[in-house]
């Protein structure tokens, strides 16, 4: 049975100074805010069936010169319930915001350096419409890159340029921030972290740093709900030919973990924005099964063995062939590397699913005429960065032993963005596993059953308030699960409507409530 997204027949309008709503026939549940351009101003955080929160930096300040951040709570029909302002000194940025158990936790960081209390957490208790602030001082030139939340606490993972990583733990009851050692001495970087929302067990993948990727070590570390170390394990199923690029851990039961990620065949060390990083190109997926804190087995799965792999290669340079040193390897060993945005592991039926989006930086060549000292013209050619071009999505299902059972794909069409972020979401439907993303004013979705594609990709228009609206451009859009079978799609649009002057050539930020049926 073919399913698709559908809209609702209620209209909601939003302005920067007030929220208001009115009902009209045949209108979607939609929120609109006039904006100047497609700069990402608004942070949208789904809060289950309690509604959603919008966080943004206003242009106002208080008497002390602090900038005012706005938190606005909306119900499930996108109608405002309450609004609060929160002052912060200039220079703070919102790193992320997560919701669990009536708490919306917003992580703020003063990026300019080592001021006192340069890390803040805003705890928004949405049912009480109250705000609590917690402060902490983190080392200068630190990068906050990992965030997770449980029903009783939230964690922020910090990697700084001295490779001295730590965790910042905020307790919902005590309302304070404490630092936690990741559990491995020496210079380490946090590769991934996740929290079991019910038990509070935190699982970390850490790696040591060094001048060569060959000297790196990887560790699986488990912490209890209070931050105490439960166990650590050095992962040994890797060698110079199979280097971890990304890794995530999933607890199958109290004694069994499955580590899944991407790997490459390079020992290159790179530094990006001052942070050490292995070469991001990946050759395939890997898995390591761990029982009773011991590695049981591992597997490496090259992308070239995935079905439909070559279908989405758009350029000759997408195909990067690496050949072995002997004649047999030169004949049989061919691998294709990709830059990947990887997702956390999730369970679907009896499988453990890993998703990765492939992309590459796209440039265009510009040639102009310049003149030498004597006025003679000559051509000058240079490259201009256009954005990140998304290619396709690799999806693989692993069984409880870590063996790959199936793979599938979802083509990502016409996505070129200045902002690099995961765009695909996956969820279980009664008919299979749904993969979806939004781009160019449409929602793309595909239904699969493991390695079998039940339906081809279908496209649904994002409904506007007027049937005469024409979406001239749609950018920085996102699709997120909300509650039940409801979803939020939001982004920035330029609307053209020759029948309504107030909607002609209008830039807006929008949110639509939609359902998948």
pLDDT, position 4? 73
Confidence of residue 215 (pLDDT cuts 50, 70, 90): low
Residues 228, 264 contacting (CB under 8 angstroms): no
Higher pLDDT, 329 or 74: 74
Confidence of residue 268 (pLDDT cuts 50, 70, 90): low
Mean pLDDT of 193-216: 79
pLDDT bracket for residue 217 (50, 70, 90): confident
Q: What pLDDT, on a 0 to 100 scale, did the predictor assign at position 262? A: 92
Q: Is 104 helix (H, G, I), strand (E, B) or coil?
A: strand
For residue range 106-154, list pLDDT tens digits in order. Answer: 999 998 766 889 999 999 999 999 999 999 998 877 888 899 999 999 9
At which residue do the structure tokens 């019910």 appear?
198
Cβ 462 vs Cβ 442: under 8 Å:
yes
Tens digit of each residue's pLDDT (9 = 90 or more) over 308-340: 877 766 554 444 443 333 333 333 444 477 889
Share of the chain above pLDDT 90, in %: 56
Judged by average pLDDT, the poorest of 15-29, 43-57, 186-200 is: 15-29
Residue 214 dihedral angles phi and psi, to the nearest 5°: -65, -25
CA distance 332 to 52: 53
Q: Rounded to whole angstroms, what are the CA distances from 126 to 58, 105, 130, 402, 471?
A: 20, 10, 7, 40, 34
pLDDT digits (tens, 9 = 90+) for 343-383: 999 999 999 999 999 998 888 888 888 888 888 888 888 88
CA dist 271 and 263 (Å) reads: 18
Is residue 13 predicted with pLDDT exceeding 50? no
Please write the tens of the pLDDT for every residue from 445-465.
Answer: 999 999 999 988 999 999 999
């Amino acid at each position: 049975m073919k399913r698709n997204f559908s809209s609702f027949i209620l209209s909601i309008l939003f302005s920067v100074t007030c929220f208001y709503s009115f009902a009209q026939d045949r209108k979607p549940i939609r929120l609109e805010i006039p904006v100047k351009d497609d700069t990402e101003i608004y942070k949208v955080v789904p809060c289950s069936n309690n509604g959603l929160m919008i966080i943004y930096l206003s242009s106002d300040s208080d008497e002390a010169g602090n900038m005012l951040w706005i938190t606005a709570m909306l119900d499930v029909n996108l109608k405002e319930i309450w609004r609060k302002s929160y002052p912060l000194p200039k220079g703070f940025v919102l790193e992320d915001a997560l919701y669990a158990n009536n708490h919306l936790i917003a992580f703020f960081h003063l990026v300019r350096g080592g001021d006192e209390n340069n890390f803040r957490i805003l705890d928004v208790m949405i049912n009480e419409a109250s705000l609590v602030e917690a402060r902490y001082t983190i080392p200068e030139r630190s990068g906050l890159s990992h965030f997770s939340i449980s029903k009783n606490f939230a964690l922020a993972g910090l990697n700084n340029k001295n490779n001295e990583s730590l965790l910042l733990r905020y307790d919902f009851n005590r309302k304070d921030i404490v630092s936690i050692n990741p559990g491995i001495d020496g210079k380490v970087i946090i590769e991934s972290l996740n929290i079991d929302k019910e038990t509070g067990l935190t699982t970390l993948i850490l790696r040591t740093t060094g001048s060569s990727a060959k000297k790196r070590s990887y560790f699986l570390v488990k912490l209890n709900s209070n931050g105490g170390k439960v166990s650590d394990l050095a992962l040994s199923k890797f060698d110079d030919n199979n280097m971890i690029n990304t890794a995530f851990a999933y607890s199958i039961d109290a004694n069994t973990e499955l580590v899944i990620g991407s790997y490459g065949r390079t020992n290159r060390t790179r530094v990006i924005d001052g942070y050490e990083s292995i070469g991001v190109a990946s050759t395939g997926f890997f898995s390591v099964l761990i029982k009773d804190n011991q590695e049981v087995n591992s597997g490496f799965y090259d992308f070239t063995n995935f079905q439909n792999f070559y279908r989405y290669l758009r350029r000759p340079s997408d195909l990067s062939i690496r050949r072995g040193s002997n004649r047999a390897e030169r004949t049989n060993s061919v691998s294709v590397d990709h830059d990947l945005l990887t997702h956390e592991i999730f369970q679907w039926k009896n499988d453990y699913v890993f998703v990765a989006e492939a992309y590459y930086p796209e440039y265009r060549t510009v040639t102009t005429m310049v003149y030498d000292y004597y006025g003679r013209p000559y051509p000058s050619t240079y490259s201009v960065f256009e954005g990140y071009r998304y290619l396709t999505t690799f999806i693989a299902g692993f069984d409880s032993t870590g063996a790959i059972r199936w793979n599938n794909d979802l083509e990502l069409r016409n996505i070129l963005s200045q902002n690099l972020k995961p765009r695909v979401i996956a969820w279980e439907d009664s008919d299979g596993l749904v993969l979806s993303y939004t781009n160019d004013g449409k929602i793309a979705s595909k239904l699969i059953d493991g390695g079998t594609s039940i339906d081809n990709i279908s496209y649904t228009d994002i409904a506007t308030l007027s049937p005469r609206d024409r979406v001239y451009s749609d950018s920085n859009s996102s699709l997120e699960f909300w509650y039940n079978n409801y979803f939020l799609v939001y982004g920035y649009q330029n609307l053209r409507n020759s029948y309504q002057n107030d909607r002609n050539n209008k830039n807006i930020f929008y949110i639509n409530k939609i359902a998948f049926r």
